[in-house]
A and B are shown apart, each in its own frame.
Chain A
């Protein structure tokens, strides 16, 4: 079977969905909300599902063709022969990109279907699905591009969709009248600009050094240059290739910290929860925020070369080590902040930041497969948790609605359906949501045999073996994970309802619970994608390079992630060592997770009793510093005010006073006025008017002279004719004789 040629369809379907919903969807919904929503939502979902089918076909094609990577061209995008600069728009079909395609379209399809139920009744129903399909389109461009520039197009495109969807309810204001949703969208966009600045610098540097942006060419050239100790010339100075590759990878890390919400740029992701919950699930948990990990895994050759270059950054650390350190510290910090959150989605947001830290740390340690494995399982269970929280919020809102109308009085107090303190006891009201949520929470906490256990443990085992510091930090982060999930489970689903809304909450419609159940199955079974013993024994039984059989992510991704070592003789490709579960590490983390979950249930066993009771954890003052201390405060105190002052100065002193008043008024306007005055008073008056009037008066004067010949006596004219004839005759006679 060979379906490589179908790859462009992957992009076509979501693009068609965008056209449908963007052009006619609104009219459908306005004409008849019930039928229109069905059309709008299902067309968008079908487009996502169609892309998923294409991704599955590509998966089968890779299996049937011995995992042979193929670049399917779509068109020539940029070609500047003078600079030897060619960027084709082509789709790279290899095991890594197909893994991402399957996650994006598979989880994406489920969330599309869920969103039909969740967004029901929203006046901008079709706009939502336009953006949703547009996101799928750009995300697929990101993961399928065969060059860094196409990847960057997708990178910016998903950033745009993220902005549009965070501020989807841009007209909503909070109690103080601030447009929080629009602000959150802007914040995400601006913070991501910082990361994108790193990305674009990395691309410039990459093109300058390797004269190409195509993945394969860049990697080959990089390895060759590295082996021949190439020195890169920058005109005024030069740098050894190791330093340049370190710089490129460090700039990629800056890009990844922006998109994947790592220290120091993670601050946008918690605010991004202002968007509709399906958006949080798809974009801000399962797919878009993992692009940073995809970028690092895709650039694994460069990161491995940077590792070989040694501690180049300030002479203390190499860039992959920096990646691992940033990932691990983000994992722990975000885990600690999650303790102090009351908003059900904010807990999940910080949890996402923390889990992305795990993946980044894994990629930094060189455990690329583990990073991808955790990316996939995380997409399953975190999407499940977000959709579950959406279902809870949906239930709470309806409960509040029912209650308020049941009593016939309007609640003047502001009710926040996302505040966990107002929930409690929801396990009886929303059983499906509860059970699926429980599965997601246990998977996230790392309880075997759920998905999260296997992937998280692979990262921990790798850390234990290669980077003990990273292992310790991540193990602590894993404890935090289990604890805050226990806290959230207890506050939301156990105990007694602490608000009338929770009392009257009811289960969400089938359209929402079915995707929950599907994702719950994936969250349970996701770990089997890469079971350590199974994979190892199957691989052994089928030879080291089994073709045509899916034997787990390890041997599947082996075909995209190069394992190699540089020696004096050249590049030696290393066979992948199948990951083996470390019973000690697994035992410790399972024990810790169970203890933390139990601890959380113990701490919250009967508190808080009402919605206004303090949190038992509030006794632990230092913990609450994390709520206020980290980067957010730093930015608001030390980055934003100077920036605002600079902007003020630029706006008023430079732009207004100097540019507008001085340059515009005094120089440009005055020059223009004097030139115009010259044109009006001199050129027009004397030049143009003079010419025209001159022609007029000359004609008039001549006419005054010539008119005298017209005497009005016909006989005078006859005399003229006679004399003329005589003169002509005289002339002829004179000529002849």
Chain B
């Protein structure tokens, strides 16, 4: 294949076939014949179905790239609904001139990540647009997972009650700060990387060994602050968070101090909030801590019946204030 992707690769003819076969199908484990639709056998159960577009800038960043992000993001959306992620569709919009070897690296990342997560990429699409019509590469991934009846309550939060504990699986803000630093060519004395990771194995372990999970959501744009506020509004309950209990890495704190950001409102790509029944919280915490993606898990707060719809933060310094829904576009194209 040539060094760069050109418009002819998107033309639907021989060069398109070269692109698809040369870069995608073998890596994704797709077998002939190539059909317009992937035909899949699905047990009679509910299906969890999700889609996301990825436009991150920069495309390659410490801890991953746009491809890894796309697979992890879609797998996580399915996993936090309580579903078993199974199949992924991947659509690529490629800017004319994008480096072929970069595209190969991204495709390989996606294949590796899919294999590690236990999902199959079964169908996809590629388009090539003229220079300037998109910024390098945009990816859209759509995912399907199998959802058992016993987990159907998780995404709607209907079982969330006062007294429930909130658990996070690790430190807040690493992805956003890594991206911010990459864009401004800032460095760190100890390397800081994005927390981009698939969480389905950890979540599966929790769900298989416990029935105390009342709600889960992954923390992406808007971070912890956004998800907690959404939850408070969804359930009509209050939430109290102990700032001391939220893990935040030093370099994230440092950069947020200087730029005036709140580490609790920064984007993540490998973090989940698990809302657990009070009697099960410690057990769930220990299961999470036994997994690599959850080794720094921490109970950070509690659902209350005070101040419905609001999130109260008990600050590390003894004072109390609201943790509000983040507003404005703090960082564009963070995922």
Decide whether A and B assemble into one complex. Answer: no
Binding site for A on B (CB under 8 A): none
